[in-house]
Each structure stands twice: as structure tokens, then as C-alpha cells.
Amino acid sequence: MKVLIVTSSPNKDGLTAACGEQARLGAVESGVEASVVSLNELNVGKCQACKNGWGSCLEKNICQINDDFQNMHAALKDAGAVIIVTPVYWGDMSESAKAFLDRVRRCEGLKKENQFLKGKPVICVAAAGGTGNGIISCLGTMERFVDHVKGTKYDFIGVTRKNTAYKLETIYAAAKSMGCSLT
């Protein structure tokens, strides 16, 4: 099985990157394959709400915007589990995470069968580097995403500058546990 770790910060050396790396290390320690994808290195635009709000995402469960989303969407199908790591901006996910997850939600949320994330374990991490504010509302948005795509809630982890040391250990342990559950 493979764990897909999706990060969404422009800062390659910051808190979000550290959280993603701990998730990768924990998953690998469990014996599963793990890959980290940074949305900020891809071209994934925001949903265009095609055809009065529902285009091919409703009709065919694919997005008609031609960018890197298609490869990421396919990667979700191939993954046995998913870990989403985002910085907290204004009490919400980063813009790149929101754009990607909104498009996934449109393609997967109303699918009648063969949903890519249905029943798959998902860990969500909200990393608030500054004041630490906004973690709860960000994790709430992430929880609604997991509900909409029918994923299995494995863990929701909030990280601040003050709790970074033990939360990085928590992310490692959660990813390792999730990886072990896949084997």
C-alpha cells in the first residue's frame, strides 16, 4: 500500500514541510511506501464552477480544467491512505490546499460508485506557525472535506510553534499507525 502525503505551503523549510516529513518518516517506518507531493510546486488552479456550477465533475466525475489536478486526482485513487498537511491562513487551509480539495470534493463528493477516497484513512494536519490561532476552524474545514468524500477520519492534528516538538512526534506516530493498519 501507498500513503500519499499532500503538503501545501510555499515555504520548503517551514513548519508545514517538517510536518510532511514526519508523516513520511512514520509511514515508511510502518513498512509502506510513502510519497510527499507539494501542491505549491504544481499547477493546480481553483475550481471554475463550470456550466452553471457543475460541469464534467458532476457528469463524469472528472475536472475539465487541464492542469496538474488530473495527476493528483489519479494519485488519490492509487493511494491506500492520505495525509493532508496545510499551513493555517486566516483560520483556514492554504489557498493551494483549498483549490485542490475543492476540486476533489466536486469530482468525488457526489460520485455514485468507485469513490477514490471512500473508506480510506485520512490524517489532516493544520500547522499554524504564527499565533497558533485558527487551528480549530481549519481542522473543521478539513473534517467537512473528509466527510464529503467519504474518507475515514484517522486523526486531526493541530500544530503551533509552542507544541511543535511533541506534535511532530504525534504526526510520526499517527502516520506509522496508519501505515501499519494498511499492511
pLDDT at 130: 80
- pLDDT beneath 50: ranges in the chain: none
- Number of other residues whose CB lies within 10 A of the CB of residue 112: 6
Structural domain for 122, as ranges: 2-182
The pLDDT tens digits of the residues spanning 47-84 come to 998 888 888 888 889 999 999 999 999 999 999 999 99
Cβ-proximal residues to 102 (8 Å cutoff; 6+ apart), any chain = 46, 47
pLDDT of residue 111: 86
Q: What is the pLDDT of residue 129?
A: 83
The pLDDT of residue 137: 97
**Strand 81-87 and strand 33-38: pairing?**
unpaired
| Counted domains in the chain | 1
pLDDT score, position 50 = 87
pTM: 0.96
The pLDDT, as a whole number, for residue 113 is 87
* CATH number of 83's domain: 3.40.50.360
